[in-house]
Amino acid sequence: MSHSLSLADFMPEAENCNDCRQRIFDRLTEFPEISELEVTRKVVAWVGGEDARAVIEAVLDEIKAAHHHRAWIISGMDCPSCAKTIEKAVERASGVHSARISFARERLNADFDPAQVSAMQLEGIVKGLGYSLSNDNVENAPAKIKEKSSCCSSKAVEHDHPVSSSKAKAKFGLIEQLKKSLNQSWSKVALAGGFLILAVALSQVWPENSRIFYSISALIGMVPIFLNTVRSIRFGQYFGIQTLMTVAAIGALLLGEALEASMVLFLFLIGEALEQRAANKAREGVTLLLELQPKTARLVNGTNSHEVPADTLSIDDVIEVRPGERLPADGVVLDQIAVLDESALTGESIPCNREEGEAALAGALVLENLTRFRVSSEAGDNTLDRIIRLIEESEEHKAPFARFIDRFSSWYTPAMMIVALLVAVIPPLMFAESWSVSVYKALTLLIISCPCALVISVPAAVTSSLAASARNGLLIKGGAALEILSRTKAMAFDKTGTLTEGKPEVTDVFSLLDEVEMITLAAAVERGSSHPLASAIVSYAEKQNITIPAVTSAQSITGKAASGAVNGHDIIVGSTDYLSEDLANNKAISDKVKQLLEQGKTVVLVSVDGVLSGLIALRDKPREAAPDVLAQLKNLGIETIMLTGDNPKTGAALGQQLGLAVKAGLMPQDKLAEIESLRQSGTVVMVGDGINDAPALKIADVGIAMGGGTDVALEAADIALMQNRLEDLPSLIRRGRETMTNIHQNVTIALGLKGIFLVTTLLGMTGLWMAVVADTGATVLVTLNALRLLRGRL
């Protein structure tokens, strides 16, 4: 039997903390009495005895006591390797369970045991590495928001998830921090460049002292680099680019190459500034999203309205938005029509008209007329928040190729330092080569060995691709999904709501009783169901102005039938398979069923007091774009198949119309078996939108949920199509392939340039300054190549 427990009662902010949810899941899987466990943003669900509830509650209390969570905004990171340096340093601290940095948002999230380490100590580690940070805290948040912000702690200030008014400050201060850190980088360049020019000028006047002038210039340029080296070594980071540059500069000075040392440091600082500028460009896709959400809203009270902080809004509040302003929360249109521009969220440039009762997304721009909306999202959980949260969490879902690059780079630099040492000592000892020449080559090799370009080759491409996809309404939960998409061999589709409009309509009614009576009885049984076919039958009855009576003893058999007692009659509304025995004994209805199924319609049978009494036929129109989308996927070399619980004849008719293979009459567990079978031949993508699709979306290599689908489907999926457009599927495949091509190009640039200059260095053809140009050039080229992915639809 299935049970569930609300996370809000124990750890409210686990809703916004992916690590908290994963920790809960990992801990609970240790208990055999808990099976089919699922931890979502809202609940912990499991199958088993009710006694497992006590175990789960105890585990949640245990995790809450031992894990605190803090978030900070960090400035000064030039590239993902800087983020990795901070992560490793913080994780080394005793009592830290995990540390994660979202490079795209410049946010550090740390989970730690406050009994072993304090937040102040963690801040000291980051500041000690030379980065500045500010708390992403909730101290000034409204009371009701503070109560929500205490993940793993009873005090709000101890868990600083971005769900408060300070979140808005963090969002809108991010761009300023980027500008500030960029200005600091160019200030270092100006200082080093100024002293280098001064040294050149003084050397023209007093050439006999030129070595002293250039040495002073080099030492001044080396100060910030040397300080960063000391900080890095202090916190266990021994092989960073700062260390390599410090060793190379000191070595050059000792060899008497003061001019070259000064030039090398100057070029390196220029390279760092260019890297930071390119990195900030890559972050623009995210910062633009951060700017979309207003900090305030106009709350309507009766006939009056007043301004309130946007994060104090609650579900069912009524707000008004003026032309030229953006929605501060998800909402439902209360006026006759709302003219909205949702291009920043969905990529659709044409303004859309939302009629009364239709949903509107947070961040949408109101184009005409003062418009009222009823808020439909909790603070911190609107569409825009979810998009930003998905982008942040996506950096944790690294592609397999990215994990390989991380492992490779972890031993690459130490290995190159050993090679450099051998280059320095072996030629003089064994071949009588000059020590100064060999050491010079070794110092050049040290600079070339910097792994920055290699380290950023994957995350730069992935971040750019994710940001571009988000702007076009394609929410991808990580680089892993992109990589898997690139090698997709088959794509499986649910039928209702995916390949079809998801709005079935009654087309035929055939009854051996009075037709109105049969519709009345069927609608009464179906009224409590959320299934699209049930909703269509109820809607048909209402359009006929039929009064729908109450039902008692209502039961539902998933995917097969619904039953209940209506006006003293036992009613069953079920599929042709479920009532197959009754159907076989009724030739009139059986012939009619066969005729309707061949037309591609779905047929449900109605049984009254155990006697088959009639049928209702429904049809769900295929989406207009479906044939073209399936043809595009075929041209991309992808096999397509429809998995549906509908009658085989109905499924076959639709499959023939759209041109794809069909597996029909499937229960949810049957879909899982079909996907497992498809996976034997290669990577499988599943596309669906309903609750019954969630298991299939989860088990497929990549699950894609249509934007109009259920929350359960969106939670289980790896990708969400916010525009609910099938046309985005070919674009997704092309996006995945283009991203992997870009990554391979980046790796080729990074390793290729290093390989070329490794050879030229050993041959004595490359000097220190040229090594810096090559290293910085590789990093800039990789970043610029990745930025190409920021362009629009593919």
What residues contact 169, with CB distance under 8 A and at least 6 apart? none
Query: What DSSP assignment string belongs to 395-449?
Result: TTS--HHHHHHHHHHHHHHHHHHHHHHHHHHHHHHHH---HHHHHHHHHHHHHHT
> Is 25 strand, coil or helix?
helix
Alpha-carbon torsion, ordered 24, 27, 33, 36, to 10 deg: 50
Tokens (6 digits) for 702: 């990549």
CA 478, CA 459: separation in Å to the nearest integer?
10
Q: Mind giving me the DSSP string for 305-364?
A: EEEEEGGG--TT-EEEE-TT-B-SS-EEE-SSEEEEE-HHHH---S-EEEETT-EE-TTP
317 a catalytic residue = no
If we measure between CA atoms, which residue out of 121, 98, 122, 124 comes closest to residue 17?
98
| Rounded distance between C-alpha atoms, residue 608 and residue 606, angstroms | 7
Asked whether 456 and 779 are in contact (CB, 8 A), the reply is yes
Give the whole-angstrom CA distance, residue 74 versus residue 724.
Answer: 36
Calpha distance 610→581 (Å, rounded): 11
Question: How far apart are the C-alpha atoms of 109 and 65, rounded to whole Å?
Answer: 18
Q: How far apart are CA 448 and CA 777, in angstroms?
A: 11
Active-site position among 494, 582, 701, 718: 494
How many Å apart are CA 5 and CA 39, to the nearest integer? 10
At 368, list the tokens: 């005409």
- Going through 477-568 in order, the beta strands assigned E by DSSP cover 488-493, 505-511, 552-557, 561-566
Dmax (CA) of the chain:
114
3-state SS record for 388-399: HHHHHHHCCCCC
Q: How close are the terminal C-alpha atoms of the chain, in Å?
A: 46
C-alpha to C-alpha distance for 720 and 632, rounded to whole angstroms: 20
- Beta carbons of 38 and 46 less than 8 angstroms apart: yes
Query: Is 538:548 a contact under the CB 8 Å cutoff?
Result: yes
Secondary-structure percent of the chain, ordered helix, strand, coil, rounded to 5:
55, 20, 25
Find the angle CA(45)-CA(47)-CA(52) to the nearest 5 degrees.
85
Q: Which two tokens stand for residue 430?
A: 């064994």
Active-site residue set: 494
